[in-house]
Amino acid sequence: MNFDLGPYGMYIWPSYAISAAGLIGITLWTVIGWYKAKAALAKLEQK
Amino acid sequence: MIWLFRYANPHNFMRLSNVLLPITAVATALCLGVGLYLGFTAPPDYQQGRTVLIMFIHVPAVTVAELAYGAIVVCSLLSIVWRHPLSDIAGRAAAPLGAMFTVLGMITGALWGRPMWGTFWAWDPRLTSFLLLLFLYIGYMALWNAIEDEVRAARAAAMLALVGAVNIPIIKFSVEWWSSLHQGESIVSGKLAPVFLAPLLIMMLGYALLFASLWMLRIRTVILERRARTLMQRSAA
Amino acid sequence: MSPFFTLLARDIKLAARSGGSAFLALSFFALVATLVPLGVGADLRLLARVGGGVLWVGAVLAALLSLDRLFQGDFEDGSLDLISLSPLPMELTALAKMLAHWLSTGAALTLLSPLLALLFNLPPAATLTLFLSLLLGTPAVSAVGAIGASLTLSLKRGGLILPLIILPLLSPAVIFGAGAVSLTLDRLASGGALGLLAAFSAGAVLLSPFAAAASVRLNLGG
């Protein structure tokens, strides 16, 4: 795999980094939200 | 049309998504993995050099951002016209996802634009329309958050989304007209060599599957939150 | 037709009062026309270039100022409920309010615009185009604004969200309106741009009573 990105590497890496951060971030937000809701509901159903 | 309503029932949606979600999640990972691999192993483009790599994360983001708004419009239509119960939730759930893809599309677009056309931002029709799309998302989310009564908020937001939808072709047309008027930069769109087409399409599919997975999960989350709220209200009563 | 004109007259009277929207819109418009040169410098050629756009944006923002009260005042004191029970269909109520709003803001701003065009050193032909474009385009602002106002009428601080919702929707009006002025400055024909603007306004004025009425009903019905 060729990782020499040439003169424009300084645009390519940030693009990928920001995209990864954004997508991972929103995935985490979604997944954590799901587990929180599940936990809250389980607690209520136990009562 | 009837099958849509069979899954209008939250219970049925939970069952359906229970089956679908693992599939889409795995498919997402596969597509993104394969797409990235193919992208990075492709030779540099004749015109763009290695910056073509940015295209693989820019075009999918932009496409999904527009698809997501389309999804919101469909949900809004279902909500207002047919009072489809889950569509309110679905529309609201899609918005932050779509907004994130829009932001990523704009950032990657700027970073792609700098090496390609010498500027981070150009008021060309596509970018400008895209910026306005971001505002449409923000307005939609703001309206949802501002109105306290959820039923009213749902209908108002749906209305706003539909008005926005009607307006989008007009906005696109006016922005193109404006751009030709001021002889703004026109984005060079050449033909794409086949070696790039495959990773691009796979990445687009991957992004779309990611959106679908997150969307389903968001809807499931809201369904659970509503159940919890109902339980709390019952125990308080 | 009488209830329509009664409502129209009453809303205009309310807007034309000393604390009302007409005065506010005109003052704001004039202030924008004053502040921008202070901000970008007094180069008359530059000001002439940007004057059309600046005045257009200024007019849209000025017309926006009073929009959040379009339905809200009547909603809060219960008048809107009474109006909805009257034989006048809600669509015509919305149209009456839109017309009242336009007469007290858009039309007034249009009349003031030639004077403000002087501040930007716009040549006579461009001033005329500006006047025509505002005349044709401000109805769209009132119309689209009415939709936003009806969606947010139940909000205490709905005024903050209103511009956010409707300004993107009004971008075609700004584009065509200011574009027409730009064309005139370049000694090109602006008829096409004005035509597009007129079409946009006509569409907005025709369709928004229905959207606004639907939103009012949904807010009243709860």
Where in the sequence is the domain holding B162, given as residue range(s)?
A: 20-183+200-236
B52, part of any domain: yes
Q: How many CB pairs under 8 A join A and B?
A: 95
Sign of CA dihedral C42, C46, C49, C53: negative
Touching pair C, B by Cβ (3+ pairs < 8 Å): yes
Averaged confidence pLDDT in chain C: 90
Side chain identity, residue C212? A
Q: Alpha-carbon torsion C56, C62, C64, C67, what sign? A: negative
* pLDDT tens column, B42-71: 777 766 677 788 889 999 999 999 999 999
Residue B116 pLDDT grade (very low, low, confident, very high; cuts 50, 70, 90): confident
Min distance B79 CA to chain A CA atoms (Å):
23
Which of B112, B217, B224 lies closest to A31 in CB terms? B217
CA distances, A4 to each of A37, B109, C169 (Å) = 45, 21, 45
Contact between B177 and C222 using a beta-carbon 8 Å cutoff: no
User: Which of these ranges, A42-46, B165-169, B215-219, has the smallest mean pLDDT?
Assistant: A42-46
Report d(CA B130, CA B175) in Å as an integer.
10
Alpha-carbon distance of C105 to C129, in angstroms, equals 19
The shortest CB-CB distance from B41 to any of A1, A7, A33 is to A1
Q: CA C141 → CA C59, C109, C170, distances in Å? A: 9, 12, 7
- Please list every residue in chain C whose beta carbon sits closer than 8 Å to the beta carbon of residue B171: 168-169, 171-172
Domain limits at C61? 2-221
Neighboring chain B residues of C214 at a CB cutoff of 8 Å: 159
> A19 and B210 in contact by Cβ < 8 A?
no
- Residues of chain C in Cβ contact (below 8 Å) with chain B: 147, 151-152, 154-155, 158, 161, 164-165, 167-169, 171-172, 175-176, 179, 182-183, 196, 200, 207, 211, 214-215, 218-219, 222
Q: How far apart are CA C149 and CA B24, in angstroms?
A: 41
CB under 8 Å to B39, separation ≥6 — which residues?
Answer: B53, B56, B196, B199, B203
Best CA proximity match to C75, nearest among C158, C141, C15, C162: C158
C153, C94 in Cβ contact below 8 A? no
- Under an 8 A CB cutoff, do A18 and B40 touch? no
Which chain B residue's Cα is nearest to C212?
B159
Number of domains in chain C: 1
Q: Which residues pair with B45 in a beta bridge?
A: B49
How close C18 gets to chain B, by Cα (Å)?
31
- For tokens 């495959």, what's the residue? B198
Distance from CA of A17 to the nearest CA of B (A): 10
User: Whole-angstrom Cα distance, residue C218 to residue C222?
Assistant: 6
- Encode chain C (222 residues) as per-residue pLDDT tens digits: 688 888 888 888 877 775 677 888 999 999 999 999 999 988 999 999 999 999 999 999 999 888 888 888 888 888 888 888 888 888 999 999 999 999 989 999 999 999 999 999 999 999 999 999 999 999 999 999 999 999 998 887 766 899 999 999 999 999 999 999 999 999 998 899 999 999 999 999 999 999 999 999 888 875
Selected residue of C72, C164, C216 to mutate for chain B interface (largest B Cβ count, 10 A): C164
Q: What is the pLDDT of residues C137-175, one digit of tens each?
A: 999 999 999 999 999 988 877 668 999 999 999 999 999
Nearest to C155 by CA among C31, C62, C68, C61: C68
What are the CA-CA distances from residue B197 to residues B55, B60, B208 (Å)?
11, 12, 16
Instruction: Express each pLDDT in B147-167 by its tens digit.
Output: 888 888 999 999 999 999 998
Search chain A and give the residue with CA nearest B32: A20
The dihedral through the CA atoms of C103, C104, C106, C107 has a sign that is: positive
> For residues B62 and B187, is the Cβ–Cβ distance under 8 A?
no
Q: How many domains does chain B have?
A: 1
Question: For the packed helices C90-101 and C2-16, what is the interaxial angle rounded to 10 degrees?
Answer: 30
Q: Could you tell me which chain B residue has the CA closest to the CA of A2?
A: B41
